[in-house]
Amino acid sequence: MMESQSDNGSPATLLFVDDEANVLSSLKRLFRPHGYRIFTAESGAQALEIMRHETVDLVVSDMRMPEMNGAQFLQKVNEGWPDTVRILLTGYAEIEATIDAINKGHIYRYISKPWEDNDIVLSIQHALRHKELEKANRGLEELTRKQNEELRDLNANLEQKVRARTEELRQTMGFLEVAHEKLKKGFITSIRIFANLIEMREGAMAGHSQRVAELSRAIAVQMGMSEAETQDVFLAALLHDVGKIGLPDYLLEKPYSDMNTLERVEFVKHPIKGQMALMALEQLQGAAKLIRSHHEHFDGQGYPDRLRGMEIPLGARIIALANEFDSVQDGTLTGKHLKPADAVLFIQEGSGGRYDPSVVEAFVREMKANEKTRASVQERVLHADQVKSGMVLSRDLLSNHGELLLSKEHVLDANLIGQIMGYSKIAPGLVIYVYDK
C-alpha cells in the first residue's frame, strides 16, 4: 500500500545511503511493500550522483561512512537540494557528529541504530507528510501574498476593477454556458453510443433503445414533466436494457412469451442489474431508479417489485409503455410482429392493466401529433452523394446492420457529410432521410 506521494502525484522517492550492503538490503525489504520508489548508495559520492539525475523526496544516511560521513553528505544535500527531507542514522556514541549534522545539514531528525522497524517506518511517513504540509503552507502563503497584492491594487482602482471584473464574469458565464451545453450534448451522445453498443448483440432489436427513448421523451413532454425529469426519462429509456448485457444470446433472441419458468426467472433480474450497473454514476441515479421499475405494470402484475399504480415512478410508467409499443412491433414481446396501427390498439387495450391510463392518453396524443408533423414536413429519401449542408435528419441514420450513426434532428455539415460519404463506400446502399431546415 502506498503511504505517500511526491509533489507530482507519483510515489515518493527514498534514497538510503550506507556503506554496509546488508543494511541497505534490510531497508529496501522494509520499505518496498509501502509502494515507494527506492534508490540505494554505498557512499555519499554515489548518492550525490543519483540525486543529480533523480528527484528524491527523502534521504536516510548513515553517519559512519568512509571518505564522506553522514553529516558532510547531508550538508551537501541541504545546499544542493534543500527541499529534500534529510534523516540521519546514528549510534549512541556519535552525539557530537549528530549535533554537527543537525547544525550544518539541517536534518529533519535522527534515528538511533539499531532501529525498530515500526518506528523507522512511522518516522519516514511523518517526515514525508511534514514535507507535504510545508509545501501546502508555502502555497497558501504565496496565494495569500498574491491576494493581498490584488487587494491593494483593487482598493486603489476599485471602480475600474469592478467594471473590468463584471465584464470578465459576464464573458466567463457566457463561455461556461456554451461549455456546459457542449458537455451536456457530449454526455447525451456518449449515452446514445453506449446504448447502441448494448444493442449490437441484439440483431433485429438494433435501434430499439433509440426509438423507446425518443417516444418516452415525447410522452414526458406531453405530460408536462420538468426538463430535468424529462432528461431522466430519456436517459433511462436509452439505457433500459443495460441489465441484459450478461444474459446469454439465446435468451435475448427469445420472445418473453416463449420462455420457460427458469428462463423467465433469469430474465426478470435484468431491471435490477441495470440499476446496479449505473449506481456509481451520480448523473444517472434518477435514471437508474426508472430502469429498475420499467417492467412494472399498472395492475401490479409486473416485475421485479410488483409495484402497483402510483407506486410506480411516472417515468417508469412512460418507459414501460414506449418499450412495449416498440417490442410488439418487432415481435420480441409476444412473438408476433404488429403493424404500427395495431401496436397502438394493443397499447390502448392495455390501459388500466399493463399501462397507466393517463400515460396511454398522452401516448395517443403524441401519435396524432406525429401524424400531423409527418404530413407537414416534406421528408426526402437520399443517398450519401445527394445530401447537402444544412439538411436535417428526419430519422435516425442507421448502418446496414442497424447501428446508430447519427440521431434524428442532427443538422448535417460538410464534416459529417464527408464521414457519411466515407462510410457509404464500405457500406453501399446507405439510405438517409432528411428535410430542409
Whether residues 346 and 395 fall in one domain? no
Does residue 259 or residue 187 have the better pLDDT?
259
Going by C-alpha positions, the residue among 160, 257, 243, 175 that lies closest to residue 209 is 243
Whether residues 326 and 245 fall in one domain? yes
- Mean pLDDT calculated for residue range 338-359: 93
Does residue 370 or residue 187 have the better pLDDT?
370
Strands 58-62 and 13-17: parallel
At residue 186 the predicted structure's pLDDT band, cuts being 50, 70 and 90, is low
Whether residues 371 and 382 fall in one domain? no
Q: What's the rounded Cα separation, in Å, for the pair 347 and 325?
A: 7
Residues 363 and 324 sit within 8 Å (Cβ to Cβ): no
Report the Cα 317 to chain-centroid distance in Å: 28
Does residue 213 or residue 424 have the better pLDDT?
213
Other C-beta atoms lying within 10 Å of the C-beta of residue 290? 30
Beta strands in 42-144 (DSSP E): 58-62, 85-90, 109-112
Whether residues 366 and 386 fall in one domain? no
Whether residues 221 and 99 fall in one domain? no
Residue type, 107: I
Q: What's the rounded Cα separation, in Å, for the pair 15 and 39?
A: 5
Does residue 5 or residue 138 have the better pLDDT?
138
Whether residues 251 and 187 fall in one domain? yes
Q: What's the rounded Cα separation, in Å, for the pair 391 and 342?
A: 33
In a domain, 158, yes or no: no
Question: What is residue 24's predicted lDDT score, i.e. its pLDDT?
Answer: 93
pLDDT at residue 193 is higher than 60: no
CATH number at residue 127: 3.40.50.2300
Question: What is residue 131's predicted lDDT score, i.e. its pLDDT?
Answer: 85
At residue 280 the predicted structure's pLDDT band, cuts being 50, 70 and 90, is confident
> 156-170, 174-188, 253-267, 362-376 — which one is most confidently predicted on average?
253-267
Whether residues 400 and 431 fall in one domain? yes
In a domain, 146, yes or no: no
The vertex-5 CA angle with 141 and 126, nearest 5°, equals: 75
Alpha-helical runs (H) found in 223-296: 227-238, 249-252, 261-267, 270-277, 285-292
Whether residues 311 and 239 fall in one domain? yes
Question: What is residue 205's predicted lDDT score, i.e. its pLDDT?
Answer: 56
pLDDT at residue 430 is higher than 90: no
What DSSP state is assigned to residue 278?
A: T
At residue 321 the predicted structure's pLDDT band, cuts being 50, 70 and 90, is very high
pLDDT at residue 220 is higher than 90: yes
In a domain, 160, yes or no: no
In a domain, 66, yes or no: yes
Whether residues 314 and 200 fall in one domain? yes
**DSSP track, 145-162:** HHHHHHHHHHHHTHHHHH
Question: What is residue 28's predicted lDDT score, i.e. its pLDDT?
Answer: 93
**What range does the domain containing 382 cover?**
378-437
At residue 210 the predicted structure's pLDDT band, cuts being 50, 70 and 90, is confident
Whether residues 108 and 184 fall in one domain? no
pLDDT at residue 357 is higher than 90: yes
Share of the chain above pLDDT 70, in %: 83
Tell me which residue has cell 444493442.
Answer: 199
Is the previous residue joined to 66 through a cis bond, with omega within 30 degrees of 0?
no
At residue 2 the predicted structure's pLDDT band, cuts being 50, 70 and 90, is very low
pLDDT at residue 216 is higher than 90: yes
Domain count, the chain: 3
Sequence-ordered list of residues with C-beta below 8 angstroms from that of 126, at least 6 positions apart, any chain: none
Q: Mean pLDDT of all residues in the chain?
A: 82
Other C-beta atoms lying within 10 Å of the C-beta of residue 190? 10
pLDDT at residue 287 is higher than 50: yes
Q: What does the longest C-alpha to C-alpha distance in the chain come to?
A: 100
Take residue 402 and report the three cell numbers written for it: 442497424
> 134-143, 235-244, 318-327, 328-337 — which one is most confidently predicted on average?
318-327
Other C-beta atoms lying within 10 Å of the C-beta of residue 103? 11
Q: What's the rounded Cα separation, in Å, for the pair 262 and 256?
A: 12
Whether residues 356 and 393 fall in one domain? no
In a domain, 171, yes or no: no
Q: What's the rounded Cα separation, in Å, for the pair 307 and 289?
A: 13
R_g of the chain computed on alpha carbons: 34
Last residue of a domain, one of 325, 356, 376: 376
Share of the chain above pLDDT 90, in %: 33
What b-and-e string marks burial along 209-224, b requiring 16 or more CB atoms within 10 Å of the CB? bbbbbbbbbbbbebbe
Does residue 212 or residue 251 have the better pLDDT?
212
In a domain, 151, yes or no: no
Sequence-ordered list of residues with C-beta below 8 angstroms from that of 325, at least 6 positions apart, any chain: 215, 343, 344, 346, 347, 363
Question: What is residue 109's predicted lDDT score, i.e. its pLDDT?
Answer: 82
Going by C-alpha positions, the residue among 68, 37, 28 that lies closest to residue 55 is 37
Q: What's the rounded Cα separation, in Å, for the pair 108 and 21?
A: 24
What is the rounded end-to-end Cα distance, in angstroms, of the chain?
Answer: 59
Encode pLDDT of 52-105 as tens digits. 999 999 999 998 888 898 888 988 999 999 989 999 888 755 666 666 667 666
pLDDT at residue 166 is higher than 50: yes
Whether residues 356 and 250 fall in one domain? yes
Q: Specify the range with the lowest mean pLDDT, choosing from 16-20, 287-291, 331-335.
A: 331-335
Question: What is residue 195's predicted lDDT score, i.e. its pLDDT?
Answer: 59
